[in-house]
Amino acid sequence: MQINEENWDLVVIGGGINGVGIANDAAGRGLKVLLCEKGDLASATSSASSKLIHGGLRYLEHYEFKLVKKALAEREVLLKNAPHIMWPLRFYLPHRPHLRPAWMIRAGLFLYDHLSKRERLAGSKLVHFNRENSVLIPEITKGFEYSDGWVDDARLVVLNAMSAANKGATILTQTKCINATDAAEYWHLTLEDSNTKQKTNIQAKCVVNATGPWVEDLFLDALKENSPRKIRLVKGSHLIVPKIHEQEHAYILQNEDKRIVFVLPYEDDFSLIGTTDVEYKGDPGYARIDDNEINYLLKVTNEHFNTSLCKADIVHTYSGVRPLMDDENDNAQAVTRDYTLHLQEQEFSAPLLTVYGGKITTYRKLAQAAVDKLQPFFPKMSPCLTKEEALPGGNFTDHSELTRELAKAYPWLPQVLLRRFVRCYGTLSYKILESAENLDDLGICFSKHLYQKEIDYLIENEWARTLEDIIWRRTKLGLRLSAEQQKQIQSYIHDKVTE
């Protein structure tokens, strides 16, 4: 951990989507920003989502019209600003007897289509499933089709951090805030390197607590006080299985208990199934799927599809804990997904802004609102830039065109790498491939999917430090690499990081 300066305008604690979003927004408005994260960027909730940019169709059932409208508007902004890691996705909603009448669902979808302006996404429609080629069980003959969006959630976090760094922010991963003391005009903070335990003292005019599921823990451990608001931890778990159909469509399945399960096309050869919503107690860092969740997700999927899944089909699982506002609702699925920003300010104290709740789709609006709240403390701050600003690598409009340009510039690049580079890195692919004139110039071949030059890029430019950082968060290559390949990659990363 090396910090060249001690005094900052803003220190953001937490490297999930809300923290990096705030750091990016604030740095773009001219503030001197430092962000610290005790682990890797997106190492908890922000890499364990259902990978969707969506308005939240099911939130209409809980009358959260304001949240849905806000999310739908942001859906368009994000799809425009990060086309490499986000793209439109069509959904089928099969209709079954236990659901609301078809006319009522159609009315809800009409509302979903028109709560906010659509520019990139097609509207909804009624569909009939042909029994001869349908992937659903024969009893399901009709349903609905509508649009939402796909996102690589962990890369969204990393790209926001890169954007903040490009604007002058300092991003410190593997760095924990162990103490924060209010000293009138400034916060005095002690940061600790998570690996070496080296401590560094800094000052900040303002602090943002964006630690997600650990928001109350930061108050108790570092601030030595109780959190002014309470959160509720809800675990969401997912399964990854070999793809269960060849369609590009996703499916949204509504069970008889009114819970939603998504079945999404994933990384070309897989299907992603989730999520659950169950109360969670304990350290969010140790959240894992349990047998009840596995059985539930398999049961709901098998009740809809003509392909029967069992536990042996599961390739990978992951779980995340959502920090939702505790609105005292008995039903975990009905707890609001909206956010609350709490600003603590007194006459002789430095401001502290705490983020409670939120969802990945509205992270940019949350960040804008958070930095707006700090305007009185930084009167010379410039306006928000992020609505019209492409994230790193997102300065293009068409996947096919970028693919052709890269293929022309690097005709020796294998198709499997070409396609993945466009979807992971967009125009940043040129940075990875610069000076390479043939396949040998990419260095060590760990597998047909991964070469040394990409790993070096991720370590030098994207804060990657471990095997998991690279094969699960920066990429999803953990699904394709053998145990021996992973061991070789881990050894290389260790030598590279410690050299």
DSSP string for residues in 221-246: III-S--SS-EEEEEEEEEEEE-S--
Closest by CA position to 170, among listed 336, 390, 342, 15:
15
d(CA 451, CA 429): 13
Phi first, then psi, for residue 189 (nearest 5°) are -120, 145
Domain ranges of the chain: 7-45+155-230+337-388, 85-151+232-326, 399-498
Please say if the pLDDT value at position 114 is more than 80: yes
Count the neighbouring beta carbons within 10 Å of the beta carbon of residue 156: 27
pLDDT surpassing 90 at residue 97 = no
pLDDT of residue 348: 62
d(CA 109, CA 144): 9
What is the rounded CA–CA span in Å between residue 453 and residue 417? 12
> Residue 68 pLDDT more than 90?
no
Residue 166 has pLDDT above 90, yes or no: yes
The CATH class, in words, for 85-151+232-326 is alpha beta
Q: Omega into 340 within 30° of 0, i.e. cis?
A: no
Query: What is the rounded distance in angstroms from the CA atom of residue 235 to the CA atom of residue 387?
Result: 31
Residue 347: per-residue pLDDT: 64
User: Closest Cα partner for 126 from 114, 108, 139?
Assistant: 108
Q: How many CB atoms neighbour CB 489 within 10 A?
A: 21
Average pLDDT over residues 104-117: 85
Phi-psi domain of 420 (left: phi exceeds 0; alpha: psi -120 through 50; beta: other)? alpha
Rg (CA), the chain: 23
Looking at residue 303, its pLDDT comes to 95
Report how far residue 212's alpha carbon sits from residue 232's, in angstroms, rounded to the nearest whole number. 11
Q: How many whole angstroms separate alpha carbon 412 and alpha carbon 394? A: 24
Mean pLDDT of 215-219: 95
Sign of CA dihedral 94, 97, 102, 105: negative
d(CA 260, CA 484): 38
3-state secondary structure of 38: coil
Query: Which amino acid is it at 51?
Result: K
- The better pLDDT of the pair 460, 337 is held by 460
Residue 18 — left, alpha, or beta (φ > 0 → left; ψ -120 to 50 → alpha)? alpha
pLDDT of residue 103: 81
End-to-end CA distance of the chain: 15
- Give the whole-angstrom CA distance, residue 277 versus residue 299: 15
List the structure tokens of 382. 């410039």
CA angle 443, 448, 452 (to 5 degrees): 25
145 contacts 25 by C-beta, under 8 angstroms: no
- Could you tell me the pLDDT band of residue 328, with boundaries at 50, 70 and 90? very low
Whole-number Cα distances in Å, 208 to 11, 191, 375, 456, 493: 6, 14, 14, 32, 32
User: Which CATH number is 7-45+155-230+337-388 given?
Assistant: 3.50.50.60
What does the alpha-carbon distance between residue 364 and residue 173 come to, in Å, rounded to a whole number? Answer: 21
DSSP state of 133: T
Backbone angle region of 75, left / alpha / beta, with phi > 0 → left and psi within -120 to 50 → alpha:
alpha
- Write the single-letter amino acid at 202: I
Kindly report the average pLDDT of the chain as a whole number: 93
What is the residue whose two structure tokens read 């927004």? Answer: 25
Longest dimension (CA), the chain: 73
Pairing of strands 231-242, 199-209: unpaired
Distance, in Å, from the CA atom of 19 to the CA atom of 208, rounded to the nearest integer, reads 8
pLDDT at 142: 93
What angle separates helix 363-373 from helix 17-28, to the nearest 10 degrees?
A: 50
Fold of 399-498: Helicase, Ruva Protein; domain 3 (1.10.8)
What is the model's pLDDT at position 108?
85
Q: Is the predicted pLDDT of residue 478 greater than 60, yes or no? A: yes
pLDDT exceeds 60 at position 319: yes
In our burial notation (b when 16+ CB lie closer than 10 A, e otherwise), range 65-90 reads: eebbebbbbbbbbbbbbbbbbbbebe
CA angle 181, 21, 75 (to 5 degrees): 150
Q: How far apart are CA 358 and CA 355, in angstroms?
A: 8
Q: Are 75 and 388 in contact (CB under 8 A)?
A: no
In this structure, of 8-12, 182-186, 205-209, 421-425, the range with the lowest mean pLDDT score is 182-186
Q: Which of 106-110, 168-172, 417-421 has the lowest mean pLDDT?
A: 106-110
Using alpha carbons, select from 340, 297, 357, 361 the residue that is nearest to residue 86. 361
pLDDT at 2 over 80: no
**pLDDT tier for residue 337 given thresholds of 50, 70 and 90:** low
pLDDT in tens, 131-160: 778 999 999 999 999 999 999 999 999 999
Please give the structure tokens belonging to residue 236.
Answer: 């969401």
pTM of the model: 0.95
Looking at 86-90, 181-185, 297-301, 340-344, which range is the least confident one? 181-185
Task: Write out the two tokens for 14.
Answer: 């937490």
